[in-house]
A and B are shown apart, each in its own frame.
Chain A
């Protein structure tokens, strides 16, 4: 009684993609492009025998990319008789690599945690990735245990560089961007093979191999100004496991090694907020603050104006004082128009 697919109806994008996945899983030896375009639902309706199918071929190329982006292992097999020929390439999806490994199981508590973890990304591209991951988890049919009430923890990656950096990492691409280094006022172009993107002390950092320095460097995403572009022709090894942990460990080690001693004005915003973050120093009213970057800490401390007095280290004192003087001087009363020449 089922309606047959021969009835004319417009084939939606999802129906075409679904049919393509089914066809490529069902085949053992793989299908050639012509097989696919001439027989698979959504393509065959538009396929013309003996004619130019260029736009349909481009459609297939895009569909392949979309399917791979979803984590579906779409393989290309070269013909043993005709290696290097595009014409005889075969496509397939090996079922063993498509299926979730059989020994993977999740408990109701784990499902609950994963739902909470997915909800952490409330905006941007990772919210879509999380949503798809949850859909796949739901296919296992496991009910989640009761969620923790009263929580809405969320991570944001507002920085426009976040998404292009993630894509470049996945594809092993080298990128270039303008970087406004803390403490400098002119941005400089940097060429980097991205290895990891990490959140440390509330800031997103890029950990990558700086192609000019020939060494790994850490960049603040908030300080990447302008677009992130891929460098054509340049590729890098795909980052191996543990780069994220390595980046965090480096930042942690730096954070532990560097400590500033400050005093805070009692009852002030600085006293309430910085005292929580640091440890009490030996002197009354003093606070020990660990930090990763002297310029970033100096920016923050300068914001507290007279509420903070830096005791050490000298580089931090200089950096804070220089900032405060700069702000003071750049906000001096504006010259009247007649004085313009004197500036």
Chain B
């Protein structure tokens, strides 16, 4: 159910045709490859579009699409030298406006970016948003994004990426183990409000992804980072499976499956009581599972295996037990829970 970028369809092709005409008009002579680079499309897509434009036009007085009613190019230059020279224009000579949705998508993207250290110039961004609003057909739909709060961490890492130096920090993994890590930072990625550092971990000697909110004592160093191949992206699901994953069966209302989309639940039928669905999850250990299930009280129940149920029950029981007696003065060090 993961949404993928939509395929390049007729709407995209039409948009490209309408955008290419004013661009060609502004360039007396331009190579196919230069156009392809500028628009970020393949040279063949440019050639196809130019062929189509050069044969298109309006019905005209005679309603026969006569020569003067059509766009024209220097065909020799196009066919022999892969250059585009537009010699006759029809009907359009300017860039089209944005649709309300297009403007809304860019405005929401800008709001998200405005939280980042490099793009902190709120005035410039506000000006840009106003321009987008004026450039769209109809008011942009109301899509808004609030600021994020990982600001400081991001700017430290960002500076290290620029300088090509290592960063170090204490990292608490999902099993609850803290380790000191030295990392060659490659890029910062985010998904909504969760921020990740993707980099080469010198402790594990492998590419690793770290959640920024699990780091403490982050600092940059003078140690140069090693050279690495870039181009690695976070996987679509946050949890990559491995061969020694454990399979857990859970019960939940069918509609609530969407709440667990990140974990890739596989439906396996109807629950014992008849009203609930059963699904299987793959988890690397039960420590992540107990946190997940305790955070979805009344929605998700673990059915199997028994050890997973027990881990969840113990976790919740330990949490509830803290309220059985008045807390020791919350001085921190005096408090201990059964761990």
Contacts and interface: CB of A to CB of B under 8 A. Distances in A.
Partners in one complex: yes
Interface of A: 1-6, 12-15, 17-19, 21-23, 25-26, 38-41, 66-67, 69-73, 95, 97-101, 104, 106, 109-110, 113-114, 116-136, 138-141, 143, 148-156, 158-160, 166, 169-170, 178, 180, 185, 187, 195-202, 207, 222, 225-226, 238-241, 243-245, 247-248, 251-252, 263, 265-269, 272-273, 276-277, 283-286, 299-300, 302-309, 311, 317, 320-328, 330-334
Interface stretch (B110-118, B200-208, B239-247, B277-285): B110-118
A274 B142 CA distance: 31
B2 interface: yes
B121 to A, nearest CB: 9
B132 to A, nearest CB: 8
B18 interface: yes
A257 to B, nearest CB: 16
A153 to B, nearest CB: 5
Contacts of A326: 297-298, 316
Contacts of B118: 148, 151
Contact of A118 (B18, B96, B109): B109
A2 B55 contact: yes
Given A128-B5, A306-B318, A25 B91 contact: yes
Given A39-B59, A118-B105, A309-B322, A197 B142 contact: yes
Interface centre among B144, B256, B258, B317 (most CB of A within 10 A): B144
Contacts of A70: 11, 14-15, 96, 99
A130 B132 CA distance: 12
B98 A2 contact: no
B106 to A, nearest CB: 5
25 contacts: A2-B72, A14-B17, A18-B17, A41-B65, A71-B97, A71-B98, A98-B94, A100-B96, A104-B131, A118-B109, A125-B3, A129-B99, A133-B106, A135-B12, A136-B102, A138-B38, A139-B21, A198-B143, A265-B337, A266-B333, A276-B213, A299-B295, A305-B316, A323-B298, A331-B316
B258 A225 contact: yes
Interface of B: 1-6, 10-23, 26-27, 38-40, 52-59, 63, 65, 67, 70, 72-73, 75, 90-92, 94-110, 112-113, 116, 118-119, 124-125, 128, 131, 134-139, 141-146, 149, 158, 161-162, 172, 174, 176, 178, 185-194, 213-216, 233, 236, 253, 255-256, 258-259, 261-262, 290-299, 301-302, 306, 309-310, 312-313, 315-323, 327, 329-333, 335, 337-339
A152 B194 CA distance: 12
B142 to A, nearest CB: 4
A334 B309 CA distance: 9
A50 B128 CA distance: 53
Contact of B101 (A66, A170, A226): A170
Contacts of B136: 71
Nearest to A130: B105
Interface centre among B14, B116, B236 (most CB of A within 10 A): B14
A303 B96 CA distance: 50
Given A17-B14, A133-B103, A150-B161, A139 B95 contact: yes
